[in-house]
A and B are shown apart, each in its own frame.
Chain A
C-alpha cells in the first residue's frame, strides 16, 4: 500500500479547512471568497514558487521580502518621478533582480558561505536601498495600473478572477513544468538530495546555485510588481517579514526544509492554507488577528513532525526490505 504523499495531506488540510469555514459562515462558500484567496495571496504565491526551488535545492532565501519592498519602491519612483513607461520599468527591475540573485548565488558558491547568512545580508541591503530611495508611500498613477486593477474575469456568484491572480496561476504552472519536467528541475532535486553525488555526476553546482537564486530573486521582483498592482503604491515598508510567511507556505506545502523533496503545487496549496486561516479570522471578527500566526505556527510544527516521521518510516521500511534480501 502506498503512503499518502505530503501534498495529498496538504490538500486534505485545505479542503477540510474550507468545509469547516463554509459550515460555520453562510457567505463563505462563494466564488468571491475563492477569488479573494487567489488575489490577496497572489504576491505570496509568486514568491513562494521561487522559494520552493531554493529550499528543494537545500538552500534558503531570506532576501525575498525586502526584494518585494524594493521592487514596489523602484516601480513607483521610476514611473512617477522619472516618467518611464511601466513595462520598461518592469523590465529594468527584473534585470536588476536577476543580477542581485545571481550575485547572492555566486557568493554562496564561491566563498562556500551558508545561504542563510548571504541572503540575510541581501535582505538588509535590499531593504536599506528601498529606504534610501524613499521613506514615504508613493502612489502609482500610470494608466496601466488602473487598467490592470479594473481587469477581471467575472465568475458566477460575484467573484472576479483578477489579473494578479492570473499571473500567480501562470507562475505556479510555469514553476511546476520547470521543476518536474526539465533537466534544471531534476538537478535542483539532486542538489538537495546529495550535493556531493550530484557534483560527481557532472552537474555544475556553481552555475546551478547562481541560477536558482537568480530565479528566486526574479520571482521576488515579479511578486513586487504584483504587490504594486495590489496596492497601486510603492512603499519601502511593504512586505516586511514576508520571507518567513513564504518559507512557512513552502514547508506546509510538503517541501522538506533540508531539501530534496517538494512540489510547486504543494506550495500553492500551502499559500492558500495561510490565506484561508486569515480569511477565517476576518470572518469571525472577534479573534485577534495574531491567531493567524499561532495557527500557522501550529500547522508548521505539525508538518515538520509529519515529515520527520515519514522520513523515519521510509528509512525503516527500506531497512526491512534490505534485511529481507539477505
Chain B
C-alpha cells in the first residue's frame, strides 16, 4: 500500500518532465532595444509569455538603447546556434554586416516593431510592425461615426515633431476626417508625447477656445498626452468624456482607468504583442516551409468605454507599462 503510494507520487512528480511529443524545442534569441518606455517593458513581458505559450525557449538581450550592444547580441546568438533571431532595431541603419552573418549561418531574422533601411530587405524573413497611419485612421473613423452630422471642432495634441509615428498618426487621422466636412481640426500643437506637455498645451487650447466651450473633441497622438489633457479639462471645470470627446492611441492602462471613470472615450491599441505573430510565422516557416509576407501588420484594435475598460485595465496593469 505504502509502496504503491510512493510509486504513484513518483509517477506524478515525473509527469511534468515528459516533454510533449512535438518537434524539437525552438530557441529564439531576441535583441530588445531596452526598457525606455512602459510600452517597451510590456512588449518584453508579452514576448516572454507568448514564447512560453508555444514552448519556445526565448533568450532576451536588453541593449540599453545601444546599437553596438544589439550587434554583439546578434553575433552571440549566431555563435550559440539559435533557431531564429528577433530584432527590435534601435536605429534603421547599420545592420547589413551582422544580418549577413546570420544569413550565412542560415538563421532567419524577424524584425519586431520597427523596420530597417530598405537596402537590407533580403536579410530578414519578415517584419512585424504596426501601421501608424492606420492607427490614426481608426481614431478618425471612430470620431466621425460618434459625432454623426453635427459640426465638430477638434483640437489635436501631436507627438514629438519629426518623429515618424507622429507624422503618420496625423496623416491617418486627417485622411479619415477629410471625408466629413463637419469635422475640422481647429488647433494642433505638439505635446511631445508626454503627460506634462499634454496638460500644458491643452490648457492653452482651452483658453484660446473661450474656456473650451467651442471644443467638441480632443485627438492625442498617444494616451499619455491625453491623460494630461484630461487633467487640464477637469481643472478648467469641463467634463472630459461628456462635454468633450476624447480619442487617443496606444491603449496604456491609465487610459482605461480614465475610461472607467467616464473621462475618456476611446483609444486605439498599439499592441505590445509583436512576438506572438512573429513566433507563429516562424513556426509555420520551420515546420511547413511557408515563407511569410515581408510585412505582417499587427491589429490596431479600437477600445471604447463600451468595451469593458475595467477588464482591459486589469489585463494590462501587470505587464510593466
Contacts and interface: CB of A to CB of B under 8 A. Distances in A.
A155 B72 CA distance: 19
B71 A289 contact: no
B94 interface: yes
A138 interface: yes
A146 B117 CA distance: 16
B81 interface: yes
B94 A25 contact: no
Contact of A283 (B57, B71, B80): B80
Interface stretch (A29-37, A89-97, A166-174, A265-273): A29-37
Contacts of A285: 29, 57-61
Interface stretch (B62-70, B233-241, B267-275, B296-304): B62-70
B76 interface: yes
A282 B77 contact: yes
Nearest to A278: B72
B290 interface: no
Interface string A233-256: 101001110000000000000000
Interface string A264-305: 000000000000001101111110111000000000000000
Interface string A13-56: 00000000000010100101100100110010000000000000
A40 B97 contact: no
Interface residues of A, number: 36
Q: Give the size category of B's interface with A.
A: 20 to 34
B96 A39 contact: no
Interface string B250-278: 00000000000000000000000000000
B291 interface: no
A41 to B, nearest CB: 9
Contact of B60 (A36, A238, A240, A286): A286
Given A139-B117, A285-B59, A289-B69, A33 B96 contact: no
B96 A232 contact: yes
A233 B73 CA distance: 18
Contacts of A308: none
A74 interface: no
B111 to A, nearest CB: 16
Given A231-B67, A288-B62, A36 B76 contact: yes
Contacts of A290: 62, 64
A239 B68 contact: yes
B155 to A, nearest CB: 29
A100 interface: no
A158 B107 CA distance: 14
B23 interface: no
A149 interface: yes
Contacts of B181: none
Contacts of A158: 105
A283 B75 CA distance: 11
A141 B96 CA distance: 11
A149 B97 CA distance: 6
B204 interface: no
A196 interface: no
Among A240, A285, A288, the one with the most B-chain Cβ atoms within 10 Å of its Cβ is: A285
Interface of A: 25, 27, 30, 32-33, 36, 39-40, 43, 137-139, 141, 146, 149, 158, 227, 230-233, 235, 238-240, 278-279, 281-286, 288-290
21 contacts: A27-B81, A32-B78, A33-B76, A33-B79, A36-B75, A137-B94, A138-B93, A230-B71, A230-B97, A231-B68, A231-B71, A282-B61, A282-B77, A283-B80, A285-B29, A285-B57, A285-B60, A289-B62, A289-B63, A290-B62, A290-B64
* Chain A to chain B: the 9 pairs with minimum beta-carbon distance, closest first: A285-B59, A233-B94, A231-B94, A139-B93, A282-B76, A149-B97, A289-B62, A137-B91, A32-B79
